[in-house]
Amino acid sequence: MSGNKKYFAFFQKLGKVLMTPVMILPIAGILLGIGAAFTSASILNVCPALENPFVQLIFKLFKVVGGIVFSNLPVIFAISIAIGYVKREKGIAALAAFISFIVMHKTMSTILISLGKLNPEKLTTGQSLILGIPSLDVGIFGGIIIGFVVAYLHNKYYDIMLPPALSIFSGTKFVPVISILGSIVVGIILSFLWPFVQTGLSSLSLLIKSTGAIGTFIYGSVERLLLPFGLHHFVYLPFFFTSLGGSAEIGGKVVEGAINIFQAQLSSPTAMFDINVTRFLMNGKILFASFGLPGAAFAMYHVARPENKKKVKALFIAAAIPAFFTGVTEPIEFSFMFIAPILYLVHAGMSGLAYFLTYLFNINVPGSSAFGGPFLSTIFNGMLQSSKGSNWIYIPIIGVIYFLAYYFIFKGLILKLNLKTPGRGIEDSLEEDEKNSTISKASDDIIKNIIEALGSKENILSVDACFTRLRVKVKDKSKVADDNKWKKLGANGVVRVQDGVQVIYGNKADVYKNKVREEIGMD
């Protein structure tokens, strides 16, 4: 296989593996966005009725429930990758991935505390509590590393036979043991490597502050580029809360940090908004979150295979809602980040351009969740504060252009490069036959007939499933029944591949997979 084919095959499989956790994000994003918006101080100042304790409790629940999913994405990715890349004993792999993730962070925590570089009582930028462990925030990058380490070690050692004295650890019991050792090594490496990366990003903050419009472009692009690595906090937090974000005397009081300055400007009857403050409060996010990414989602829907459009439509509507209304963009971004990295690079550049444009047009409307997210901030900090120089009127004008730009750029690149975005992949097919829209319990007869059609239990090497296909590897393909037989068994079609068959059963495929594996005694 050529280098390019290996590259695309790797990311296509990674995209497939991560599709399940990605599909969790839209509902989590909606809950988080609504909760964050209606518990923010700026919204409560305008709508005091929302301060009702019961109403606030509901919104706080929304916020914490949605937030817990996003804050634990690294470990969710670690488990998903481990499950997706191991050949057998997936439950053991999931357990090993979770344990290894904890061990990696505990290793980093112990080393950094011992070196005096981490104080559990006073965590600094780039440090956070990970599953209760004070550690470096390495984001989903750390989760992905652990997932691959565990998958590699699992596939290599899950059937190992140890000497009699150590035989109690033979087989799958050895997987957590070797995975723990591997995660200690990863933790040691990251303990010494990651702080250098973080130091470099701190220096970048000074460059951003001193270069005006160009620095604003860098701010927006780098913030998105570093999102997968959990390092994006290094871009915006210093500007939010330190003098890097500015210093101003408002109402006779000196305030520092972009958030503090903007809040003081809101409270002052005379102070005007300042683009050198709002550029660090994610004003560019209003363009790419509320308009650009929905345009990208619309493009991915349009280029999906016809039979997949219905399910892709549901996925992207659910993902676009939190992006447009609350600025929670991860549900859309993660849908193409790993499957088509070139699209994410384009998106990062377009994000930087959004910040650049808001700087040039002097748009003083924060897009961060601290101000309710893009939609509510446009209303309460834009429309209702036009006398302070919000210049919100440019948002819908440039926004429509941004929607179209994302749509045509994404659509063009997907078609030209044949990118396997959701609904276009073969292995990730989202085909759905309407008559199979309700998953029914698989009867013993149909399962036995499927096994017979596959050439009997002895002919089956492995059984797996994607969204709609029962994927089976067999010893001898000549023993597999013809297409007419499969039609009689309710299949919508059969795809014959090099080492077996993919039988299209709609959304019954996963149920049939489990039933077949149970029937033939396969773990």
C-beta neighbour count of 92 within 10 angstroms: 22
Distance CA 452, CA 447 (A): 9
Instruction: Give, in order, the Cα–Cα distances in Å from 517 to each of 393, 470, 522.
Output: 60, 11, 5
Residue 273's Cα: distance from chain center in Å? 34
Distance CA 458, CA 473 (A): 12
Taking a C-beta distance cutoff of 8 angstroms, is the pair 328, 368 a contact? no
Distance CA 81, CA 14 (A): 8
Taking a C-beta distance cutoff of 8 angstroms, is the pair 136, 194 a contact? yes
The torsion region of residue 128 among left (phi > 0), alpha (psi -120 to 50) and beta comes to beta
Of 396, 391, 389, 394, whose CA–CA distance to 266 is shortest? Answer: 389
Count the alpha carbons within 13 Å of 362 in the hemisphere toward its beta carbon: 8
47 is a catalytic site residue: no
Helical (H) or strand (E) element with 433: none
Distance CA 84, CA 93 (A): 9
Tell me the pairing of strands 500-504 and 469-474.
antiparallel
Distance CA 177, CA 170 (A): 10
Among the options 17, 442, 463, 466, which is catalytic?
466
C-beta neighbour count of 368 within 10 angstroms: 23
User: Which residues form the catalytic set?
Assistant: 466
